[in-house]
A and B are shown apart, each in its own frame.
Chain A
Amino acid sequence: MKLKKTVILGAAIAGLLGSSMAYAAEQFVGLPSYRVGPYAAGGSGIFGGWIDYMQMINERDGGINGVKLAWEECETEYNNARGVECYERLKEKGETGNSVFQPLSTGITYSVLDKVAKDQIPLVTMGYGRTDAADGRVFPYVFPLITTYWSQATTMVKYIAGKEGGTDKLKGKKIALLYHDSAYGKESHAVLEKMAERYGYELTKLAVAHPGNEQQSQWLQIRQLRPDWVILWGWGVMNPTALKSAAKTGFSREKMLGVWWSGAEEDTVPAGSAAKGFTAAGYNVAGSDYPVIKDIETNVYAKGKGNMEDKSRIGSVYYNRGVVHGLITVEAIRKAQEKYGKGKALTGEQVRWGFENLDMDDKRLAELGATGFLPPLKTSCLDHEGSGKVKYQQWDGNKWNVVTDWIEADKELVRGMIEESAAAYAKEKGITPRDCSKEM
């Protein structure tokens, strides 16, 4: 029984593998997407935006220097084992194999972390995943691009300091951290504690059990505590519940600060009017007035090739985040083509070089039609993060409005912690860090 099924399936999959190799130069991008389950709202937005951007490059420019982008989705259901299967399935697809793996799930990121170095496929995790992977010497194949949780936490303290009138005013202030009780939520602790020591604010940590649809007790504690600020480190249904409970306990939403996984329309719309005034971080902004979004509308949706069923979501935070994924992926491939030959399909190893040598300054962003859409980005062998900047956006009841310029992270603090943690990992795993002076 098992044997027979194995044979049939094997034959079918072999057939599938064969049939996908038909066209000239094509760069394959595997998409481990999730469109069902609790996180489907985020998944469909991000992967929709990403696919639309790649479609736009194919339609408008005929690909990257003539190399068309090809992609295939693999449903992970946000499940680690399914994610590993998708990773293995997508690995060998296309002419040159999968060029990049971006699972949009910290769990799946950890599950393939050891595998990518062996398979020479870059693993790109924007705004999630393993923070200390920003040390490119220990993690040559992992790119926590733009910004990490630790960088984000420092910008939050900066933002609060700005509102309070300077870092010296932080002394004696009470900050409550309402976090999702999981590995993801715990990422915030070390940095915020360290900064509490430095600036003298008082940090109270309140855990919310998964999934976070009940927060009565936490908010009554907050009401008792009367903190000056609440940092919301939430995920999924926990965010609207927190906003609703805040309204219920009379805590001002203007004094609530969310992480980028708390700052999408999906988090505020369900909370209704309770969300008004809530501010959250974002490494991309909302809005459809950017040339890059306009290009997608004219080159993709006007031709009826768009991926989104619900066009009103174009320009939403998650959709735009997907566009950022597309932008950076395409840019890395373009960069790698400059070195390894234009008009050729590249291997994962070659694309990795592209990710490591990204240079998207203001001028380049303007060319891409994305000025202000995402922060300037410059990566290197040492620094796989590349930026560390976020903007803060405030919900006005209908849409997100940008309220700050790009806020820089406390690089010196974060970098020290990253190197310390990466060194510990290297020691545990017996990895010899690369010598970056020899890289080029």
Chain B
Amino acid sequence: MQFFFEVLIGGLLSGVLYALVALGFVLIYKASGVFNFAQGAMVFFAALTFVGFLEVLPGWTGMEDGGRAVFWLAFLLTLAAMVLLAIATEKFVLRPLVNQPPITLFMATIGLTFLVEGIAQGIWGANVRGLNLGIADVPIEYMMDNFNILISSFDVFAAAVAAVLVAALALFFQYTRIGRALRAVADDHQAALSIGIPLRHIWVIVWAVAGFVALVAGMIWGARNGVQFALTFTALKALPVLILGGFTSVPGAIVGGLIIGASEKLAEVYVGPFVGGGIESWFPYILALGFLLVRPEGLFGEKHIDRV
């Protein structure tokens, strides 16, 4: 039983990490109807740029290497880079493709993926780097001693970050002017335009916010597994979360992440050994598929009504 809980809790915490990546997808899909495949590449780009700045800033500015000032300056510079990326994307990719079918936009974001990956590695090189956020990835002793359950302090920290991020985003959407405009755009482009909401600005903002989410996700995943090209694969972990939770729902991403994380770990541990293991590559997808058969628009997705 103790082992079951260990796996379950570990899975839930991993699920939060998946949700973190899925959030970026949801934001963009909600506001612009674009299925942004480049989100994984953006996570990679953000993490690599952040680590790159951490490396070069002490040399440029004479700040103390590894100090707090360098950390925040690198963070701000990377955020600026993500905003630039958002502006460029809106200007050169989204605007010219307005009113194209969704699949064309989807393909454009795959093109964007190559572009972003090439730029990231072209600027910072292909080296694999470590990233230390100062939070040790070790078991929490209290839980170990009292219940013999292993929970990593880093995973708890990551979950807390994700929770704060989601809460902040929810408040932002609910109570700010821009947030309200965003929700209006998500509801109906045409209507939003007609009451004078500038669609372009909204798109830039949404992509920038998604860039910010990518940066947070990139830092956490980067600190976990190293900053390297494989960060782009985090997108593949986020996709089943996305369809399970629904493309348009922020809480859906979180709940979906929790379900996927927990069930994939339990499946790998309890079913895996009977079929040779390694089922984590496809199990979340099959699970999400099963879910969709019952609810075709995901857990919290908007119900789509077809009219002839």
Residues of A bordering B, CB below 8 Å? 35-41, 43-44, 181, 205-211, 213-214, 216-218, 220-221, 223-224, 236-237, 240-241, 244, 247-250, 265-267, 269-272, 274, 309-310, 313
Q: Are B118 and A214 in contact (CB under 8 A)?
A: no
B127 within 8 A of A: yes
B189 contacts partner chain A, Cβ-Cβ < 8 Å = no
Given contacts A237-B225, A237-B228, A247-B137, contact A217 B280 (CB under 8 A): yes
Given the known inter-chain contacts A35-B126, A248-B137, please indicate yes or no for A216 contacting B226, CB distance below 8 A: no
Binds A, one of B57-65, B88-96, B248-256, B269-277: B269-277
Q: Which of B261-308 contact A (CB under 8 A)?
A: 264-265, 268-269, 272, 276-281
Interface of B, helix, strand, loop or mixed by DSSP? helix
A269 x B233 contact (CB < 8 A):
no
> Residue A207 contacts which of B7, B125, B152, B277 (CB distance < 8 angstroms)?
B277
A316 → B minimal CB distance (Å):
10
Q: How far is the CA of A436 from the CA of B252 in the complex (A)?
A: 67
A272 engages B278 (CB within 8 Å): no
With most chain A CB atoms within 10 A of its CB, the pick from B11, B126, B232, B233 is: B126
Q: Let me know if B143 is at the binding interface, CB within 8 A.
A: no
Cβ contact of A206, chosen from B118, B132, B277, cutoff 8 A? B277
Chain B residues whose CB sits within 8 angstroms of the CB of A250 once the complex forms:
138-139, 150
With beta carbons under 8 angstroms apart, the residue of B126, B150, B276, B280 that contacts A249 is B150
Contact A208 B229 (CB under 8 A): no
Are A211 and B3 touching (Cβ within 8 A)?
Answer: no
Are A218 and B126 interface neighbours, CB within 8 A?
no
Question: A41-B126, A181-B278 known; A220 and B233 CB under 8 Å?
Answer: no
Question: Which residues of B lie under 8 Å from residue A240 when comparing CB positions?
Answer: 128, 225-226
User: Which residues of B are found within 8 Å of A208, using beta-carbon distances?
Assistant: 278
Contact A41 B228 (CB under 8 A): yes
| B194-253 contacts to A (CB < 8 Å) | 221, 224-230, 232-234, 237
Evaluate contact between B130 and A272: CB separation under 8 angstroms: yes
Taken together as a complex, chains A and B put the C-alpha atoms of A206 and B139 apart, in Å, by 22
Cβ of B237: which chain A residues have Cβ within 8 Å of it? 213-214
Which of B's residues lie within 8 Å of A, judged by CB? 3, 6-7, 10-11, 14, 117-118, 121, 125-132, 137-139, 150, 152, 154, 221, 224-230, 232-234, 237, 264-265, 268-269, 272, 276-281
The 3 closest A-B pairs by CB, nearest first: A270-B226, A207-B278, A237-B230
Chain A residues with CB under 8 A of B272: 207, 217
**Given the complex, which residues of B lie within 8 Å of A241, measured CB to CB?**
224-225
Could you tell me the distance in whole angstroms from the C-beta of B303 to the nearest C-beta in chain A? 32
Distance of A248 Cα from B156 Cα, bound (Å): 12
User: In the bound complex, how far is the Cα of B10 from the Cα of A213, in angstroms?
Assistant: 14
> Which of A181, A247, A270 has a CB less than 8 Å from the CB of B277?
A181
Taking a contact as CB atoms under 8 Å apart, the answer to whether B137 and A244 are in contact is yes
Nearest A-chain residue to B270, judged by Cβ = A217
Contacts of A44 in B (CB 8 A): 125-126
Complex Cα spacing A393 to B125, Å:
26
Q: Are A41 and B117 in contact (CB under 8 A)?
A: no
Chain B residues lying within 8 Å of A267, measured Cβ to Cβ, are: 128
Least CB distance, A412 to chain B, in whole angstroms: 30
Asked if A220 and B129 make an inter-chain contact with CB atoms under 8 angstroms apart, the answer reads no
**A204 to B4 Cα, complex, angstroms:** 20
Q: Give chain B nearest CB distance to A35 CB in angstroms.
A: 7
A236-B231 Cα distance, complex, nearest whole Å: 11
Given A35-B126, A217-B268, 17 more pairs with CB closer than 8 A: A43-B126, A207-B277, A211-B233, A213-B230, A214-B280, A216-B265, A217-B7, A220-B3, A220-B7, A236-B230, A237-B228, A241-B225, A250-B138, A269-B129, A269-B130, A270-B129, A270-B227
Contact B279 A209 (CB under 8 A): yes
B224 to chain A, nearest CB (A): 6
- Asked if B269 contacts A217 (CB within 8 A), the reply is yes
B166 to chain A, nearest CB (A): 21
Residue contact B280 to A209, C-beta cutoff 8 Å: yes
B212 to chain A, nearest CB (A): 22
B265 to chain A, nearest CB (A): 4
Report Cα–Cα, A94/B228, bound state, in Å: 36
Q: Which of chain A's residues have a CB closer than 8 A to the CB of B7?
A: 216-217, 220
Residues of A within 8 A of B150 (CB): 220, 223, 248-250
Find the A residue at minimum CB distance from B10: A216
Complex CA–CA separation, A41 to B48 (angstroms): 13
On chain B, the residues within 8 Å of A40 by CB distance are 121, 126, 229
> Closest chain B residue to A247 by CB distance?
B137
A209 touches B269 (CB 8 A): no
B144 to chain A, nearest CB (A): 8
Tell me the minimal C-beta distance from A219 to chain B in angstroms: 9
CB of B119 to closest CB in A, whole Å: 11
* Shortest beta-carbon distance from B12 to chain A in Å: 10
Q: How far is the CA of A206 from the CA of B280 in the complex (A)?
A: 12
| Bound CA–CA A238/B22 (angstroms) | 22
- Which residues of chain A are within 8 angstroms of B268 by Cβ–Cβ distance? 217-218
Closest chain A residue to B226, Cβ basis? A270
User: Whose C-beta in chain A lies nearest to the C-beta of B18?
Assistant: A214
How far is it, in angstroms, between the C-alpha of A248 and the C-alpha of B228 when the chains are bound?
20
Is B139 a contact partner of A270 (Cβ separation < 8 A)?
A: no
Contact call B269/A36, Cβ cutoff below 8 A: no
B189 to chain A, nearest CB (A): 36
Q: Which residue of B lies closest to A237 (CB)?
A: B230
A41 partner, pick from B128, B269, B279, beta carbons under 8 A: B128
In Å, the complex CA distance between A322 and B104 comes to: 42
* Sample (29) of A-B pairs whose CB atoms are under 8 Å apart: A37-B117, A38-B229, A44-B126, A205-B277, A206-B277, A207-B277, A211-B230, A213-B234, A214-B280, A216-B10, A216-B11, A216-B14, A220-B10, A220-B265, A240-B225, A244-B224, A244-B225, A248-B137, A249-B139, A250-B139, A265-B128, A269-B226, A270-B130, A270-B225, A270-B226, A271-B226, A272-B132, A274-B137, A313-B127
